[in-house]
Chain A
Amino acid sequence: MSEGFRLRVCFRKTGRLRFLSHLELARACERAARRARLPYAVSQGFNPRMRVSFGPALPVGTAGEREYLDLVLTRYLAPEDAHGALTSVTAEEIAPVTCAYVSPGEPSLASALTIAVYDVYVEGGISPEELERSLGALMDAGTLHIEHKGKPKVFDLATALPKEPKVESEGESVLVRMTVRMGEHGSLRPEVLVSAAAGRDARLEVNRTDLLIEDEGVWRRPL
């Protein structure tokens, strides 16, 4: 199979479309590429498919400001033209942010993107000071025990959180800014940590603001 031209698209998942599942979002992106009449490459075999791959999935309800996909094109198209074509056929809430070509040899998004930056908005009466204290206590304990799909799971917070979470006051709600390292064996969901600190009744809104590649200790955006 020819290598083609690997177009990396940064897009968002915001507003009411944060309620899409990863599968729904992926399908929407593929259909947008078709509507945009991008010269997309197709896999060989009995069930030919568009050659597209995505970065780490976002849960239903979580927004993302800089999400990524790689789409293989059969011929070169100026990135600004691809961007324009995609923008004109996509709902504003999941519109492309920017796009550019990457080398065919570049590692896949799923394996390269290991750092995720989140804003977690907390509503439900807890003060920034209280939240900071209980987060601090969790960090001091060093590990977080949770149950995921009925199975106990333990996170080592020093590994999972390469930076200390920061608590800020944001209008009516409290904002927790946190950076999470995504591992091969699952990554810590920010809402799990924050609700452990803020209590089950707190209402959370999660926004993944950035996805980064960690390259010899240096963090950089994939575009």
Chain B
Amino acid sequence: MTDLWQQVAPLLAQVERPSRYVDREWGASHRPDAAYRVALMYPDTYEVGMANQALQVLAARLASLADVMCERVFVPWIDMSALMRAESVPLFTLESCAPVAECDLLGITLPHELACTNVLEGLALAGIPLRAIERREQDPLVIGGGPAAHNPEPIAAFFDAILIGDGEDAVLEIVAAHRAARDRGASRAETLRDLATIGGVYVPGLYAPGPDGVLLASEGAPDRVVRRVVRDLDVYASPTCPVVPYADVVHDRASVEVLRGCSRGCRFCQAGMVYRPVRERSAGTIVRDALAALACTGYEEISLTSLSTADHSQLEEVLRRLSRRLEGTATAISVPSIRVDSFSLGIARLLGGGRKGGMTFAPEAGSQRLRDAINKNVTAEELLATVDAAFGAGWRRVKLYFMLGLPTETDEDVAAIGDLVSRVLESARGATPPGERGGVRIAVSVSTFVPKAHTPFQWDGQPSRTEVRRRQALLCAHMPRKGVELSWHDADTSFLEAVIASGDRRIADVVEAAWRAGARFDAWTEQFGLRAWLEAFAECDVDAEALASEPRPEDRALPWEHIDSGLSRAFLAAERRRAESGETTADCTFGDCAGCGVCSSMSLDVVLAGGGRHV
């Protein structure tokens, strides 16, 4: 492989944060003689991408294959990419500093809709043709996967294949199939047909739109691509020796995934739908992997991650065992995404140790009516009791997440957010000793509803940008000032997310046009500009406003009809009806099966750490 270091090094004196590009971190693995070379790219900067656990999992899985090399790739920041273009330095992998184009496979994770222009930026810098159809025999296979793959169409044209669902086993099968095809001298087209037979693998080139717009499979490819699901997480060790960055990355800590999936059933939440069923790892393996990760990496913090860690049935035991083992080592334990209703003060105390940073809750809506409509099964009283307990125990800061523009939202619901924040503030101050009340802070972060594929709200529209801004102003007017830090997502950004999240194949042209007009790093506020996108919509004759805002008739095919997440259409439609009538649906982890269809259609079941369901 070509070593580009001599060309890269002179550029580093001229860029911000050069440590992004130098490799040599602890845990980085070098296998120069490997017979098969994989580059795993996160379509954002090093600091953002190094925090991604999925890439760590995939890298650890690939490292188990002795003659396979797996190297990291990130999108260079704009100062670096400008120099690389000026000096004709192609996109390189970190470990070998080798051209990405020399790898056999380029895996790209798709974390969210706004990363799509960065996918093109990466491909272009690598010198790989942007569209699968233009690629030559010698180009790497470009394979995507991740959360934003659940509606793959807006970016499908740029990928040879896209994995839907869990990658633990699929990544090994993909590599094996590619190597076997290569060994027998198969063409690129033949290789892709082989890949299409692997469970969860979608090969966009093998699908073409039929008369009603539904994508139809050509021979050999499945009519519907069924999401890949690993049955039991405990079978896979959590990555214990991930690369330890020098740079200050987003989540600069060791982490162990304690459970996957969440079946609380918030109706707007894609992750809560498409990662079902809940699969817990047992307390023993969590503690084992957490300690091993700390020993191997030297991190000063271990994070117990999942969509909803406080829901883990053995969390208290895990925290007790970990804090005992870590005593005196100045190591922190953190639990992101704590939920109001499953929070206990015991857990807070175990977590807090010495440090009392912030605590985050997501009531999502201000009124009980709207919380019921979105199936956020939490009451204002529960939230206030939790805040009271937390501030009584010494916390001085809490962050609350809300969402504007949810289906059925009225002006009363918007105003109710302000009222709820006032009550939280009151409760927090009441639980704080008088002398310290000045330090009480409530951070309120307000996002905008984005309709997502495979959710009960997939047929709903997002309010127009003008309407979103009106509601933001309304909210601002109802929000207490003192002690509250209010922030919200930009309406333009959320609009673009909505267009891409519910878009079809036509959006690929828009993404390419926007990227050609200079759009990239769209998730970075200071880099984002809607103008390039609006021009791209016009150029490609796409009515973006209609795509984002107009409800989709339930009797019409959706752009993701050929992606089978396991959820039944009837369940999603019924949940939408229940939202309209304000009926809630209980979490199947705790109660009866809600009939979402995942377990029955895929022969799966909820996995709890202690065995059995805790009814």
0 or 1 for each of B215-248: is its CB under 8 Å from A? (1 = yes): 0000000000000000000000000000010111
CA distance A91 to B95 in the complex (A): 13
Q: Are B354 and A46 in contact (CB under 8 A)?
A: yes
Q: Are B24 and A17 in contact (CB under 8 A)?
A: yes
- Please indicate the chain A residues that have their CB under 8 angstroms from the CB of B23 in the complex: 16
Q: Are B355 and A46 in contact (CB under 8 A)?
A: yes
CA distance A203 to B13 in the complex (A): 10
Q: Are B248 and A24 in contact (CB under 8 A)?
A: yes
Q: Are B26 and A35 in contact (CB under 8 A)?
A: yes
Q: Which of A3-11, A26-34, A109-117, A210-218 contacts B (4 or more CB under 8 A)?
A: A26-34
Does A200 lie at the interface of the complex (its beta carbon under 8 Å from any beta carbon of B)?
Answer: no
The contact of A31 among B22, B297, B330, by CB within 8 Å, is B297
CA distance A99 to B282 in the complex (A): 43
The contact of B246 among A20, A42, A45, A48, by CB within 8 Å, is A20
Does A137 lie at the interface of the complex (its beta carbon under 8 Å from any beta carbon of B)?
Answer: no
Does B19 lie at the interface of the complex (its beta carbon under 8 Å from any beta carbon of A)?
Answer: yes
Q: Are B22 and A16 in contact (CB under 8 A)?
A: yes
CA distance A36 to B5 in the complex (A): 30
The contact of A90 among B5, B26, B295, B355, by CB within 8 Å, is B26
Q: Are B12 and A19 in contact (CB under 8 A)?
A: yes
- Give A85 Cβ to nearest chain B Cβ, in Å: 12
- Please indicate the chain A residues that have their CB under 8 angstroms from the CB of B24 in the complex: 15-17, 91, 93
Does A23 lie at the interface of the complex (its beta carbon under 8 Å from any beta carbon of B)?
Answer: yes
Does A47 lie at the interface of the complex (its beta carbon under 8 Å from any beta carbon of B)?
Answer: yes
Does B25 lie at the interface of the complex (its beta carbon under 8 Å from any beta carbon of A)?
Answer: yes
Does B9 lie at the interface of the complex (its beta carbon under 8 Å from any beta carbon of A)?
Answer: yes
Does B484 lie at the interface of the complex (its beta carbon under 8 Å from any beta carbon of A)?
Answer: no
- Please indicate the chain B residues that have their CB under 8 angstroms from the CB of A89 in the complex: 26, 298
Q: Are B247 and A24 in contact (CB under 8 A)?
A: yes
CA distance A27 to B249 in the complex (A): 12
Does A202 lie at the interface of the complex (its beta carbon under 8 Å from any beta carbon of B)?
Answer: no
**Could you tell me how many residues of chain B have their Cβ less than 8 Å away from some Cβ of chain A?**
31
Does A25 lie at the interface of the complex (its beta carbon under 8 Å from any beta carbon of B)?
Answer: yes
The contact of B248 among A17, A23, A33, by CB within 8 Å, is A23
- Give A150 Cβ to nearest chain B Cβ, in Å: 18
- Please indicate the chain B residues that have their CB under 8 angstroms from the CB of A56 in the complex: none
- Give A88 Cβ to nearest chain B Cβ, in Å: 11
- Please indicate the chain B residues that have their CB under 8 angstroms from the CB of A91 in the complex: 24-26
Does B214 lie at the interface of the complex (its beta carbon under 8 Å from any beta carbon of A)?
Answer: no
Q: Are A24 and B246 in contact (CB under 8 A)?
A: yes
Q: Are B244 and A31 in contact (CB under 8 A)?
A: yes
Q: Are A48 and B25 in contact (CB under 8 A)?
A: no
Residue among B26, B244, B329, B330 with most chain A CB within 10 A: B330
Q: Are B298 and A47 in contact (CB under 8 A)?
A: no
- Please indicate the chain A residues that have their CB under 8 angstroms from the CB of B355 in the complex: 46-47
Does A189 lie at the interface of the complex (its beta carbon under 8 Å from any beta carbon of B)?
Answer: no
Nearest-neighbor residue (CB-CB) of B252 within chain A = A27
Counted as pairs of residues, one from A and one from B, with CB atoms less than 8 Å apart, the total is 80
0 or 1 for each of B480-513: is its CB under 8 Å from A? (1 = yes): 0000000000000000000000000000000000
- Give B480 Cβ to nearest chain A Cβ, in Å: 29
The contact of A45 among B13, B354, B356, by CB within 8 Å, is B354
Does B299 lie at the interface of the complex (its beta carbon under 8 Å from any beta carbon of A)?
Answer: yes
A18-63, CB < 8 A from B: 19-21, 23-25, 27-28, 30-35, 37, 42-43, 45-50, 60-61
The contact of A48 among B13, B26, B244, B354, by CB within 8 Å, is B354
- Please indicate the chain A residues that have their CB under 8 angstroms from the CB of B351 in the complex: none
- Give B487 Cβ to nearest chain A Cβ, in Å: 26
Q: DSSP class of B's interface residues: helix, strand, loop or mixed?
A: loop
- Please indicate the chain A residues that have their CB under 8 angstroms from the CB of B354 in the complex: 45-48
- Give B409 Cβ to nearest chain A Cβ, in Å: 41
- Please indicate the chain A residues that have their CB under 8 angstroms from the CB of B13 in the complex: 61, 203
0 or 1 for each of B73-98: is its CB under 8 Å from A? (1 = yes): 00000000000000000000000000
Q: Are A25 and B300 in contact (CB under 8 A)?
A: no
Q: Are B300 and A61 in contact (CB under 8 A)?
A: no
The contact of A49 among B10, B247, B298, B330, by CB within 8 Å, is B330
CA distance A46 to B355 in the complex (A): 6
Does B18 lie at the interface of the complex (its beta carbon under 8 Å from any beta carbon of A)?
Answer: yes
0 or 1 for each of B1-20: is its CB under 8 Å from A? (1 = yes): 00001000110110001110
Does B291 lie at the interface of the complex (its beta carbon under 8 Å from any beta carbon of A)?
Answer: no
CA distance A25 to B328 in the complex (A): 24
Q: Are A19 and B19 in contact (CB under 8 A)?
A: yes
- Give A183 Cβ to nearest chain B Cβ, in Å: 26
Q: Are A20 and B26 in contact (CB under 8 A)?
A: no
A146-176, CB < 8 A from B: none
- Please indicate the chain B residues that have their CB under 8 angstroms from the CB of A31 in the complex: 26, 244, 297-300
0 or 1 for each of B443-483: is its CB under 8 Å from A? (1 = yes): 00000000000000000000000000000000000000000
Nearest-neighbor residue (CB-CB) of A48 within chain B = B330
The contact of A61 among B12, B297, B330, by CB within 8 Å, is B12
- Give B27 Cβ to nearest chain A Cβ, in Å: 10
Does B347 lie at the interface of the complex (its beta carbon under 8 Å from any beta carbon of A)?
Answer: no
B285-336, CB < 8 A from A: 294-300, 328-330
Nearest-neighbor residue (CB-CB) of B26 within chain A = A91
Q: Are B329 and A42 in contact (CB under 8 A)?
A: yes
CA distance A34 to B291 in the complex (A): 12
B168-212, CB < 8 A from A: none
CA distance A212 to B547 in the complex (A): 68
- Please indicate the chain A residues that have their CB under 8 angstroms from the CB of B248 in the complex: 23-24, 27
CA distance A46 to B395 in the complex (A): 13
Q: Are B12 and A35 in contact (CB under 8 A)?
A: no
- Please indicate the chain B residues that have their CB under 8 angstroms from the CB of A46 in the complex: 354-356
CA distance A24 to B26 in the complex (A): 13
- Please indicate the chain A residues that have their CB under 8 angstroms from the CB of B297 in the complex: 31, 35
Q: Are A20 and B12 in contact (CB under 8 A)?
A: no
CA distance A43 to B329 in the complex (A): 10
Q: Are B330 and A25 in contact (CB under 8 A)?
A: no
CA distance A28 to B247 in the complex (A): 9
CA distance A203 to B22 in the complex (A): 20
Nearest-neighbor residue (CB-CB) of A51 within chain B = B330
CA distance A61 to B10 in the complex (A): 11
CA distance A45 to B354 in the complex (A): 7
Nearest-neighbor residue (CB-CB) of B354 within chain A = A46
- Give A2 Cβ to nearest chain B Cβ, in Å: 13
- Give A59 Cβ to nearest chain B Cβ, in Å: 11
Nearest-neighbor residue (CB-CB) of B22 within chain A = A16
Nearest-neighbor residue (CB-CB) of A60 within chain B = B18
Q: Are A32 and B298 in contact (CB under 8 A)?
A: yes
Q: Are A20 and B330 in contact (CB under 8 A)?
A: no
Nearest-neighbor residue (CB-CB) of B246 within chain A = A24
Residue among B10, B26, B295, B299 with most chain A CB within 10 A: B26
- Give A10 Cβ to nearest chain B Cβ, in Å: 20
- Give B135 Cβ to nearest chain A Cβ, in Å: 32
Chain A to chain B: the 6 pairs with minimum beta-carbon distance, closest first: A31-B298, A34-B298, A35-B298, A19-B18, A48-B330, A24-B246
- Known pairs A21-B17, A24-B19, A42-B328; list 15 more (Cβ under 8 Å): A15-B24, A19-B12, A20-B246, A21-B19, A30-B298, A31-B244, A31-B297, A35-B295, A35-B297, A46-B356, A49-B330, A60-B19, A61-B12, A90-B26, A203-B13
Q: Pick 28 A–B contacts, CB within 8 A, sort by A.
A: A16-B5, A16-B9, A16-B22, A16-B23, A19-B18, A19-B21, A19-B22, A20-B246, A24-B19, A24-B246, A24-B247, A27-B248, A28-B244, A28-B246, A30-B298, A31-B26, A31-B297, A31-B298, A34-B294, A34-B298, A34-B299, A34-B329, A35-B295, A35-B296, A35-B297, A42-B328, A47-B354, A60-B19
